[in-house]
Amino acid sequence: MELGTMLDATVERDPQKEALVFGERRWTYGQLREESLRAARVLYDRGIRRGDTIGVMSFNTPGFVFAAFGAWYLGVTFIPVNHKLRPPEVAYTTTHSGMRLGIVSAELAVTAREGNPDIPWLETETEEPGSFDALCRAAEPFDLAVLPEAERPTEDDVAQVLYTSGTTSAPKGCVHPHRNMVQVAQIITLNMGYLPSDRYLMCMPIWHAAPLNIILLPMVFIGGTVVMMREYDPVECMEILARERVTVFFAPTVGYVAPIHAAKKLGRDFADYDISSVRIWNYGGAPIDRETAQMLIGTYRTDRFYNLFGMSEMGPTGCILRPDDQLRKAGSVGREAMWGNRMRVVTADGRDAGPGETGEIWFAGDTRMREYLNNPEATAAAFEGEWYRSGDVARVDEDGYYYVVDRMKDVIIVGGENVFSLEVEEAIIAHPDVVDVAVVGRPDPEWGEQVVAVVTTEADTDLDLAALRDFLADTLARYKVPRDLLVVDVLPRNPAGKLLKHRLREMVAGA
For residue 388, what are the contacts with CB-CB under 8 A and spacing of at least 6? 313, 314, 362, 363, 364, 368, 369, 382
Which of 154, 172, 202 is where one domain is finished? 154
Distance CA 33, CA 27 (A): 10
**What are the angstrom distances between the C-alpha of 45 and each of 39, 40, 155?**
10, 8, 24
Nearest to 184 by CA among 317, 320, 4, 23: 317
Q: b/e per residue, 194-218, with b = 16+ CB within 10 A?
A: beeebbbbbbbbbbbbbbbbbbbbb
Q: How much is the pLDDT for 409? A: 65
Give domain status of residue 284, yes or no.
no
The amino acid that residue 431 corresponds to is H
Mapping DSSP to helix (H, G, I), strand (E, B) and coil, where does residue 178 land? helix
**Is residue 71 situated within a structural domain?**
yes
**Cα–Cα dist 89/26, whole Å:** 34
pLDDT (0 to 100) of residue 142: 98
* CATH code: domain of residue 96: 3.40.50.980
Identify the CATH number of the domain in which residue 428 sits: 3.30.300.30
Rounded to whole angstroms, the Cα distance separating 394 from 365 reads: 20
Q: Whats the size of the chain, residue-wise?
A: 511
Beta bridge partners of 411: 420
Q: Is residue 451 part of a domain?
A: yes
Per the structure, the count of domains in the chain is 2
- Separation of alpha carbons 420 and 223, rounded Å: 36
Q: Is residue 324 part of a domain?
A: no
Last residue of a domain, one of 104, 126, 154: 154
Q: What angle do CA 370, 388, 221 make, to 5 degrees?
A: 60
pLDDT tens across the length of the chain (511 residues) = 999 999 999 999 999 999 999 999 999 999 999 999 999 999 999 999 999 999 999 999 999 999 999 999 999 999 999 999 999 999 999 999 999 999 999 999 999 999 999 999 999 999 999 999 999 999 999 999 999 999 999 999 999 999 985 433 478 999 999 999 999 999 999 999 999 999 999 999 999 999 999 999 999 999 999 999 999 999 999 999 999 999 999 998 889 999 999 999 999 999 999 999 999 999 998 788 899 999 999 999 999 999 999 999 999 999 999 999 999 999 999 999 999 999 999 998 999 999 999 889 999 999 999 999 999 999 999 999 999 999 888 889 999 999 987 666 677 889 988 787 778 888 999 999 998 899 999 999 899 999 999 999 988 888 999 999 999 999 999 999 999 999 999 998 754 456 778 889 889 987 7
Among 40, 38, 34, 31, smallest CA distance to 73 is for 40
236 occurs within a structural domain: no
Contact between 205 and 82 (Cβ < 8 Å): yes
Question: How confident is the model at residue 510, as a pLDDT?
Answer: 78
Distance CA 307, CA 310 (A): 10
Pick from 123, 154, 185: which residue ends a domain?
154
Is residue 475, in this structure, part of any structural domain at all?
A: yes
pTM of the full structure: 0.84
So what's the pLDDT on residue 34? 98
Q: Does residue 327 fall inside a structural domain?
A: no
> CA separation (Å) from 138 to 56, 132, 133?
20, 10, 9
Q: For residue 109, what are the domain limits?
A: 29-154
Contact 362, 390 (CB under 8 A): yes
